[in-house]
Amino acid sequence: MDRQIFILLQAQFEYMIDSEYLTYTFPNGIRLIHQQTASPVGHLGIIINTGSRDELPDEHGIAHFIEHCIFKGTQKRKAYHILSRMEDVGGELNAYTTKEETALYATFLSDYYSRAAELLSDILFNSVFPEKELKLEKEVVVEEINSYNDSPSELIFDEFDELIFDGHSIARNILGTYDSVRSFGRENIFRFTGRNYHTDQMVISSVGNISFRKLIALTERYFGIAPQNLRAFSREKFNNYIPGNREVAKDTFQTHCMVGNIAYDSADPKRIVMILLNNLLGGQGMNSRLNLALRERKGLAYNVESSYTSYSDTGLFNVYFGTDNDHFEKALQIVFKEFENLRKTSLGTLQLTRAKKQLEGQLAIATENREDLMLTIGKSFLFYNRVDPMPVVFEKIEGVTAPQIMEVANEILNPAQMSRLIYR
């Protein structure tokens, strides 16, 4: 084993030390990133640069459907054996799909790194998608769609995407429709994975108590054997935003409202300013401006939040709130008043300092969840080919100025560019 490791590390695909993160690229293009810890719990995942926006019109929902069905059998395992492989040693196996990525990952005692790597490799490269299992899982996904349709506070996010990105593949919700999901067969799945699962668009991410040399050796054994398959296409960019307003009649007690605008893509230098602005306006803190204005001072809403999502070629900012029908107009005026305050009034030194320290603290605390950390560094390495250490992130946040926040506020919070979706 030692000689094999030596050969690997002497090859032209050498690993690179990036602060506390270690990275390596296999000859087939798959990349590896690792942070070693002293914790007895390990986290290992593979993140693929493929999501629902990569679906063709007749494939709506297939990326998410594959995430469900990839656990249903491989060339050597039945579904039960896949689900039990990590559970039998106290571990967990999971997956998620977004508009631009798919992730398969496991959490386990660090003694079982090899078991997790072998299993993830098996389901990624050797899944057979039995028709019997597909039939059952279609009904599971249909029930998931039903649960979203029963929840207006969740459904409104998907329908707002459709309003903003009208006509583009990024507009479609991740789950698909009843008809599209029920139409999928094995041939649809293999066509999608063959077209989108490329080795240079995959990152193995690890956080746990294992040496990097040992991790390279075992992931090379299970992932390095995959044939090289490089991506030769680029995604269709979204560039035709037109502000829109839509009102939908719903039999609900509350009025649900979402307002928003397109925002900066994941490579835009203004992205960090937008993150800070969003956190100040309606982030997770109870002292966000929208929470104070709508809930704490006026009692008009139980839930109010803003969010900013960056994609490879565009971004989305939105504000959601739910309120009593009689209070809707007043609540909406308050939201736009907060927009105006940020557009016309520069933050004072103390306000800006507090906003920065709050965001830095939230980011630092988030890294304590090592499963989330594993997924975060994997996604960063997948899309940026690097991970900024926390001091670098803090330095970028500290570099944001009040005029920059006002500039971004005037670009993104401009009422003339806002779209609006209302359920009532």
Residue 5 has pLDDT above 80, yes or no: no
- Per cent of the chain over pLDDT 70 is 96
Mean per-residue pLDDT for 13-38?
A: 81
pLDDT digits (tens, 9 = 90+) for 88-112: 999 999 999 999 999 999 999 999 9
Residue type, 385: N
Residue 19 has pLDDT above 90, yes or no: no
Buried b (16+ CB within 10 A) or exposed e, 258-286: bbbbbbbbbeeebbbbbbbbbbbbbbebe
The pTM score is 0.91
pLDDT at 324: 94
pLDDT at 132: 94
* Per-residue tokens: 133: 């299992």
Residue 182 has pLDDT above 60, yes or no: yes
Residue 195 has pLDDT above 90, yes or no: yes
78 bridge partner residues = 73
pLDDT at 251: 84
Mean per-residue pLDDT for 163-169?
A: 95
Residue type, 408: V
| Helix boundaries (H) for 197-348 | 212-222, 271-282, 289-290, 328-344
pLDDT tier at 20, thresholds 50, 70, 90: confident
Angle of helix 113-126 versus helix 212-222 axis, rounded to 10: 30
* Per-residue tokens: 396: 């970028």
pLDDT tier at 252, thresholds 50, 70, 90: confident
- Which residue is listed with tokens 């999502």? 309
| DSSP codes joined into one string, 308-357 | EEE-SS-EEEEEEEEEEGGGHHHHHHHHHHHHHHHHHSPPPHHHHHHHHH
Number of H helices, E strands in the chain: 16, 12
Q: In the predicted model, what is the mean pLDDT of the chain? A: 93
pLDDT digits (tens, 9 = 90+) for 213-235: 999 999 999 999 999 999 999 99
pLDDT at 7: 31
C-alpha distances out from residue 47 to 53, 206, 353, 375, Å? 16, 11, 35, 8
pLDDT at 14: 36
HEC per residue, 390-415: HHHHHHHHHCCCHHHHHHHHHHHCCH
pLDDT at 16: 38
Mean per-residue pLDDT for 14-18?
A: 39
The vertex-168 CA angle with 164 and 171, nearest 5°, equals 50
Residue 2 has pLDDT above 70, yes or no: no
- Structural domains of the chain ordered from first start: 2-222 (3.30.830.10), 245-423 (3.30.830.10)
DSSP summary character for residue 237: P
pLDDT digits (tens, 9 = 90+) for 314-365: 999 999 999 999 999 999 999 999 999 999 999 999 999 999 999 999 999 9
| Position with higher pLDDT, 14 vs 36 | 36
- Which residue is listed with tokens 């739910």? 322
The answer to whether residues 415 and 336 touch, using CB atoms and an 8 Å cutoff, is: yes
Which of 20-24, 38-42, 289-293, 398-402 is predicted with the least confidence, judged by mean pLDDT?
A: 20-24
